[in-house]
Amino acid sequence: MEPLTRVTASTIDVLAALLDHDGSVWGLLVIKATDRPAGTVYPILERLEDRGWITSTWEADSERSGPRRRLYEFTTDGRAAAVDACAAFRRRQAPERRPSGRTVTS
């Protein structure tokens, strides 16, 4: 598994949407959960898969009408890395607090 070289708010949103679901998630569900456009979400999913964070499979034929869905799921290492990446991003976004309890803004 390769580390991510660029972790944006959009990437964190996609990781969080995947973490919010156990098992496989299809792309449109990630789009709806993140409120990000498909042109943002699908390249992120592709990047995550290329680096070994997630895997994808095509949905088996079902009785559901419509085209087959591509399902995305974390690898074991990918899930752990996603949890770490989301926590690190939140820490970077949180305002720094001084011992006095006052917030320091940059």
Q: Is residue 4 part of a domain?
A: no
What local confidence, expressed as pLDDT, does residue 6 receive?
86
Q: What CATH code is carried by the domain that includes residue 69?
A: 1.10.10.10
Residue 39 lies in a domain: yes
Domain limits for position 21: 9-104
DSSP 6: -
| Residue 99 pLDDT class (50, 70, 90 cuts) | low
In this predicted model, what pLDDT tens digit does every residue of 81-90 receive, in sequence order? 999 999 999 9
Interval 28-70: pLDDT, tens: 999 999 999 999 999 999 999 999 999 999 988 767 788 889 9
Query: How many CB atoms are located within 10 Å of the residue 15 CB?
Result: 27
Per the structure, the count of domains in the chain is 1
